[in-house]
Chain A
Amino acid sequence: MNTEPSRESETDVEPSTGNDRQALEFLFILIIGAIILAAAITSLSYDPTSARAPWVVLAPLLLLIGIQINRSRKLVGFGDIKRIVVESLKGHRPVVLKVASLIGWMIFLLGAIFLIGHYLGMLVFIFTLLHFKAKESLRLSVIVTLVVTAVIFGLFDQLFGIELYRGLIFRSIE
C-alpha cells in the first residue's frame, strides 16, 4: 500500500533518487547561479533606490546558492554532468528524450501559431500528435481535433470576446 507523503505542491518536492538526480541538480543550480550572478552584476548599475529591494533578496540568495553549489559539489563532479549530457545526446536516456520531444512539439506549436495563427496551428498540432505520435485512430483524431478547436473558439472568441492570433501569413495577406 502506498503510504508516501503527498505530492501536493505546497510540499511538491518529489526528487528522483541517486547520483543522476544530484548531477541534474548540480547542473540546475549552476545555471540558476549564473543567471542570478548576471542579475546581480546588472543591478550594480541601478539607481540606489531601485537596487535596494533587489539587493535585500540578492545577497542571501547568492549566499544560499553558493552553499548549495558547495553541497552538490561534494556529491557529484563535472564528470557526472558530462556523462549525463553525453548519454542524453546519444539517446540513452528515454526520459530526457521524452521531455525534449515534448518541448520540441511545444516549440512547433509556438511556431505554427506565429505563422498560421492560433486556430490552424492548434488543428495541425492536435491532429499530428494524436494521429502520428499517440497512434490514435484517424476518426478519433479528427473528432477530438475539431471538438477541441470548436470549444476553444466558442469559449474564447464567442463567450469571452477574445480574438486569438490570426498568424503572420493571414496578417500579411490582409
Chain B
Amino acid sequence: MGIVDGLISGLFQALSPSVFPYLLVGSLFGLAIGVIPGLGGHFAMAMIIPFLYAMEPSAGIAFLLGAHATVAQGGGLTAILFSTPGTGQNAATMLDGPAMRQNGEGAKAAGAALTACFLGATFGAVVLAFLLPILQRIVLFFGPPEIFVLAALALTFIAVLGKGDLVRSLIAALAGLLLAMIGLDNVTNTERFTFGMLELRDGLELVPVILGLFAVAEVFDLWIKGGSLTGHNTEIMSAKETQKQIFQGIKETLKRWWLVMRCSAIGVTMGLIPGLGSAPASFIAYGHAKQTSKTKETFGKGNIEGVIGSESANDAVEGGALASTVAFGVPGSSSMAILLSALFILGLEVGPTMITQRVDVVFVMIFTIIVGNFIGMVGGMFLVNPLSRATGLRSGLLVPILVVIIFTGAYAVNLAWFDILIALLFGVVGYLMKEVGYSRAALLIGFVLGFAVEKNLYLAIQLQGPYFIFQPIPLTLALITIAFLAYNVWDAWRHHKGLKQL
C-alpha cells in the first residue's frame, strides 16, 4: 500500500462511524485518568487492553491511543490547578504552572498547556508521517539477526537511560525476557519454567501482567496514601472567568508557535531514543524555553513559556516513540510496550509488514493522536471545572471500584480465574519494584520483546548460522551496544570510586 493510499484510508478509518465513537470515549477517558494523580497513561492503557479482544483493529487502536494521547493533557491541568502532576510527564509543568495559578492565571496556563499538548502531538504525528518513506527503505535491511541485536540495543538503552540504577534496570529487563520464555517452547514442544502448572503451558498472558504491574501497583499506592487524592483545596474559578482565561492561554500559545515547534522537535528527537521518555524531554524543552526567552528572570515565577515548552515536548515524544515501535517492533517505553501488546491482541504484525503493507494502520495511529489530542483540548477547555473535582475523590472510594474493574479485565481475556491471580501477583511485584527502585518499564519491555527476541535468535541461527552477529548491521549494532554499556559501566565505576575517596 502506498503512502497516499494509506493516508486516505487511515483518515477515513479514524473518522468512520465505527471507529470515531471509540476515539471520543477513549480520549475523554484518558483525560479523566490524567486528571487523577497517581493514575497515568499506563494505567489508562492497561485498563483498556481487556476490551480490545472484542474490537476491530482500527477501533481498538483509536480507543487505546486516544486514551493515551490525552492523559498528559489531563495531567497538565492537575499540575497547574492543584500543584500535583496527574502524571509523571507533567512534572516540568509544575515549575511555572502553579506559579501562574497563584498569580490568578490558572485557567490561562491550563489553556496554554492544552493547546501546546495538541500542537506538540500534531507535530510529532506529522514527523512520523514524513519518516514513513525513510523507514520503509530502512526496514528492508532488517531481518531476524538485525532485529535480535536491535532489541538488545533497545533494552540496553532503556536500562541505562532510565532514571534508576544500571544493575537494577538490567536485572528487570532480563527478568522480563525470562518471563516471556515461560510455557511451551514452539520448536521442541518442551515445557519451560511451568513447574508442572497446567495454566502456565501457554505462557503468561500479557494483559494480567500489564494490569498487575501498572494498575494493581498504583492501586496499592492510592490505598496507602488514603484520604483525598490531592490534599489541596484550590478555589475553583467561575465558569465565565475560566473560559476567558483559557482562550487567552490558547492565543498566547499560538503567538509563540516557533517555541512550540522547537520544543516539539526536542520531544520527537528524544522520543526516537528508547528509554528516554517524555519526562526528560519536557525538562529539556523547559530548559530550552528558558534559555531562549527574553524574560528568563520570570521563569519559575509563572512564565507561560515554561508551560508551553514543557507541555509541547511531552506530547511530541509519542511521534518519535511510535516510529521505532511500528517499524522494528522495538518499543522505546512502557507505553509503547503496552501498545505493541495491544497490536498483537488486535492481530496486527508490526515491523516491515506493517510499515510497508499496512500503512493505513500507521495512519490510523497518526490521525488518532491528532484527533485524540484535539478532543482532549476541547474537552479540557470546557470540562476544566468538573474535571478538577475528580481530584477531590477519596482513595477509599476509588480503590474498591478499580480493583473490581482490574480483576474483571484480567479474567475477561481468557475467562480464566488463574489470570486474576497473576494480576494480583504482578501487582505485588510491581509495587515492590517501585518501592525498592527497580524499573517496571524495563521488566515489561523485556517481557514484550521476549517473544520477538527468542524467535529472531532462533531464525538468525537457522538462517545464518551461529556467526550471524558478524554481518555488517548486526555487528555495528552490537558494537554500539557494547560501547554504550561499557562506557556507562566505566562511568558508574568511576563515580563509585570518586565517592569512596571523599
Contacts and interface: CB of A to CB of B under 8 A. Distances in A.
A21 B412 CA distance: 36
A147 B38 CA distance: 24
Interface in B193-245: 193, 195, 214, 216, 219-220, 223-224, 226
Contacts of B438: 13, 28
A56 B181 CA distance: 12
Contacts of B51: 155, 160
A11 B279 contact: yes
Contact of A25 (B400, B407, B411, B437): B437
Contact of A163 (B226, B278, B415): B415
Given A5-B283, A102-B220, A109 B403 contact: yes
A98 B417 contact: no
B435 A164 contact: no
Contacts of B400: 125-126, 129-130, 134
Contact of A10 (B162, B168, B181, B396): B162
A63 B76 CA distance: 42
B439 A12 contact: yes
Contact of A47 (B99, B188, B436): B188
B190 interface: yes
Contacts, number: 240
A71 interface: yes
Interface size classification for chain B: 35 or more
Interface in A34-83: 36, 39, 42-43, 46-47, 49-50, 52-54, 56-58, 60-61, 64-65, 67-68, 71
Contact of A61 (B175, B216, B275): B175
Contact of B190 (A50, A103, A110, A129): A50
Interface residues of A, number: 77
A85 interface: no
Contacts of B404: 109, 122, 125-126, 148, 152
Interface string B335-366: 10000000000000000000000000000000
A48 B440 CA distance: 31
Interface string A131-174: 00111100000001000100010011001111111000000000
Given A43-B192, A61-B174, A113-B420, 18 more contacts: A1-B98, A3-B94, A3-B95, A10-B278, A13-B164, A28-B438, A50-B187, A57-B177, A102-B220, A102-B399, A109-B403, A129-B396, A129-B399, A152-B405, A156-B408, A160-B412, A164-B411, A165-B417
